[in-house]
Structures are given as C-alpha cells and as structure tokens.
Amino acid sequence: MPPWMRSLARRLTLAYLVLLAASCVVRHRAVFSAPVVPGPGLALLPEVREGEPTGRSIRLSYIDDGPPDAPAVVLLHGSPGSKNDFHGVVPELPGRRVIVPDLPGFGASEHDVAEYSVRAHARYVIELLDALGVERADVVGFSMGAGVGLQLTLRHPDRVRKLVAASTACTGPATAASQPNLQSEAFAIGMTDLPYRFAPAMLTVPSGATVTWTTMGADPHTVTDDPSKAVNAADSSLPAGAQAWDSGSVTSGQSYSHTFTVPGTYKYFCIPHESLGMVATITVI
C-alpha cells in the first residue's frame, strides 16, 4: 500500500472512531441526561432508598394506552426486560387502560437509582398510579415483575384488584427457603374494612403453595371455604377432592395460612361479611 493510501486509511479510521464516539455520547445523553419535561409517557417520581425519599427525582418511562376511564391493568416486566416486552400484549387488551412502566434501571427509565429491590419498584409503581390518577388496577407480573406485584399487593392491598404472577420464583418451599424475604410475603392476601374485602380478590397460585391472609383493619374476619356455612351457595366452592376449611375468627393483625394441594377453583368468603360481598377466588394450577 502506498504511503498516501495508508495515511488516508488512518484518517478515515480516525474520523470513523470520532463519529462513533460522538454518536454514543449523543445517544447516551438522549436516554439518560436529556432535560426532562414531564408529560405523556414520562413521569418524574421521588427517588426512594429503604422506603425513604432521598430528595432526588428519577425519570420513569411508561406506556399508558386505552380509554382513561376503562378498568386499568398494569403489566410488569422481568429482569432483564422492559416495557417493550409487552408490545404484542397491549393491542390484545381492548377496552382496558393498559399501563406498562419501564421499572427503574431498565429500558428508558432512570438507570442510576439508589435501590433496585422489588420493594422499591413497587413503591415507584404506586407513585406512577398516583400520578396517573389510577385508584385500583389488575396487576400482571412476569418473573421479577411478579415479585413487584406481590409487594404491591402486600403493601397496598386496596390498590390491587387481581394479581397474576407469571413465571416467578416464589413457587415452592425450596425456593422460599432459599429466599427468606419471599417466604413470609409470597401469596399474601389482605383482609380490609370499609369496604370489607379480600385483596387481591382473585389470585392464581401453583399447587403446593401456601397462602396467608392477614386482617389489616380493626374488624375480625374469617377465611372460609365450606359450602355448608355459606348463606348464598354460590359464594363457596371447592374442586372435587379438596377438604372444606374455616379459619375461625382472625382478629386485627393476626394471620391465617392454608396450603393448596388440589388444583382447581376455590371460591371462599368471610362469614361476618359474606352478605357485604366479601367473597374471593383462588385458582390453583
């Protein structure tokens, strides 16, 4: 290669590298450092560390699709993942308001945040729902997103109408034992006053799962699946082969657990509040 050609090749290579570096800087700034104007699809939320605000704000990118007054459903991605994982799902939910965030640390949301735990993620989701004026939503969580959904349900039972936990780790004793933080909180259902309800009112769990109900308010409740004790026969059902059960009175702050070994649909109720609609369903798969 003649010297002039070598020199030209060097210059072209250098120019290419400079342009490549410049494009990386521009892209990085566009995603992570652009001036932020909160608006559709982008929320500024207070950053949290161990449940406390740090005083800083973070950017949360999200999809908000469908009629604003339609029943809301929140789709939560796994790790790694982003809201883009649900692109094919959103059009399949006509008649619903579909909210899909990039959880902090993922996608187009802030990557530099103080805490990435499922608890922190759950708090950001609640803040997003507050910002969007969504009172209650169905929550579908995939993998890590299901852990976020469980935290949401446990900490804000009045905000979650139904929880679908898909492909998640909290499925059995072995996993629970290796993840003690999930052991006590997996498949938790709150029992609330005014309105009297189980939250979430619909839950799908794997066979062998233990579900724990906790009385959140002042009034005692029961967790009862015994058709002979129901005023309305339609409020209690069991799959063939499953035993009826009744927790007895569960007072304020107390819990009751039941392990489901027979797959099928369980419709259960609270004896004192059955007539007030305190009826719920667990599906065991």
- Alpha-carbon gap, residue 126 to 111, rounded angstroms: 19
Q: Is 197 in the site for Cu ion (CB under 5 A)?
A: no
- Which range in 19-27, 32-40, 134-142, 191-199 contacts Cu ion by CB under 5 A? 191-199
In whole angstroms, how close is the CB of 276 to Cu ion at the nearest point? Answer: 8
**Token pair of 113, please?**
């945040």
In whole angstroms, how close is the CB of 215 to Cu ion at the nearest point? Answer: 8
Q: Is 273 in the site for Cu ion (CB under 5 A)?
A: yes
- Alpha-carbon gap, residue 213 to 54, rounded angstroms: 33
Nearer to Cu ion, 86 or 256 (CB): 256
In whole angstroms, how close is the CB of 273 to Cu ion at the nearest point? Answer: 3
| Among residues 211, 278, 280, 284, the one that binds Cu ion under rule CB under 5 A | 278
Beta-sheet pairing, 42-49 with 52-65 = antiparallel
- Alpha-carbon gap, residue 203 to 197, rounded angstroms: 14
**Token pair of 38, please?**
């909160």
Q: Which amino acid, one-letter code, is at 126?
A: I
Nearer to Cu ion, 143 or 247 (CB): 247
In whole angstroms, how close is the CB of 229 to Cu ion at the nearest point? Answer: 13
Return left, alpha or beta for 279; rule: phi > 0 is left, psi -120 to 50 is alpha, else beta: beta
Ranges within 213-232 binding Cu ion (CB under 5 A): 221
Ranges within 251-270 binding Cu ion (CB under 5 A): 270
- Alpha-carbon gap, residue 117 to 162, rounded angstroms: 22
Residues that bind Cu ion (CB under 5 A): 196, 221, 270, 273, 278
